């Protein structure tokens, strides 16, 4: 949903056209030669990169809801660096968690040109994952959350625009 201020709010993967920004949206990705049903599957599995059997269990989850439940249910075995944030050389905030999401989003929008066009069509707009359920990835429902998914989508959008304008994309 776009409002007059140039803000696009999204959340449900079932709400076109911007529902495709949700990690639950059914868009398979291939990363490192493995097929993932959704970006949610990939992201949740990367929490357990040190446990290949559990990664496979998450990868083969029937739905993104199941993948999310598996990923949220084993906090004790998360990789140690998952939440450690630092500033990368290019000035971006980086962590294993953010980098996993960047990889997933890049794969999704590179491998699905129709979704890339939707993302590019939002040029100049602020993207906000609007949900009370998440203050880190979303806006917390009240606008005070970090909105990291929206921020990473806008970051990727700028990269794709830059690549297209320089002839790389």
Q: Are residues 104 and 135 in the same domain?
A: no
Q: Are residues 95 and 65 in the same domain?
A: yes
**pLDDT score of 83 more than 90:** no
Of 66, 86, 111, the one marking the end of a domain is 111
Element (H, E) at 139: none
Confidence of residue 160 (pLDDT cuts 50, 70, 90): very high
Helix ranges (DSSP H) in the chain: 39-46, 52-59, 64-72, 96-111, 113-120, 148-166
How far apart CA 140 and CA 63 sit, in angstroms, is: 24
**pLDDT score of 84 more than 80:** yes
pLDDT recorded at residue 78: 84
Q: Are residues 43 and 64 in the same domain?
A: yes
Question: Over the chain, what is the mean pLDDT?
Answer: 94
Q: Tens digits of per-residue pLDDT, 85-121? A: 888 788 888 889 999 999 999 999 999 999 999 999 9
Of 66, 87, 111, the one marking the end of a domain is 111
Contacts of 121 (CB under 8 A, 6+ apart): none
How far apart CA 89 and CA 79 sit, in angstroms, is: 23
**pLDDT score of 3 more than 70:** no
How far apart CA 100 and CA 119 sit, in angstroms, is: 19
pTM: 0.93
Tally the domains of the chain: 2
pLDDT recorded at residue 5: 80
pLDDT recorded at residue 76: 65
Q: Tens digits of per-residue pLDDT, 45-78? A: 999 999 999 999 999 999 999 999 999 987 667 8
The CATH number for 124's domain is 1.10.357.40
**pLDDT score of 157 more than 80:** yes
Domain that holds residue 117: 1-27+112-169
Confidence of residue 129 (pLDDT cuts 50, 70, 90): very high
């Amino acid at each position: 949903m776009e409002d007059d201020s140039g803000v696009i709010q999204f959340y449900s993967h079932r709400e076109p056209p911007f529902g495709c920004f949700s990690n639950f949206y059914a868009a398979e990705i291939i990363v490192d030669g493995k097929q993932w049903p959704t970006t949610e599957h990939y992201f949740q599995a990367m929490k357990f990169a040190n446990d290949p059997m559990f990664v496979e269990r998450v990868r083969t989850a029937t739905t993104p809801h199941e993948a999310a439940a598996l990923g949220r249910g084993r906090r004790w075995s998360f990789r140690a660096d998952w939440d450690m944030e630092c500033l990368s050389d290019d000035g971006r905030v980086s962590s294993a968690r953010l980098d996993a999401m960047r990889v997933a989003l890049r794969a999704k929008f590179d491998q699905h040109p129709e979704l890339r066009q939707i993302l590019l069509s939002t040029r100049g707009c602020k993207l906000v994952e609007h949900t009370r359920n998440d203050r880190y990835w979303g806006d917390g429902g009240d606008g005070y959350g970090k909105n990291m998914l929206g921020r990473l989508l806008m970051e990727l959008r700028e990269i794709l625009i830059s690549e297209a304008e320089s002839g790389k994309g």
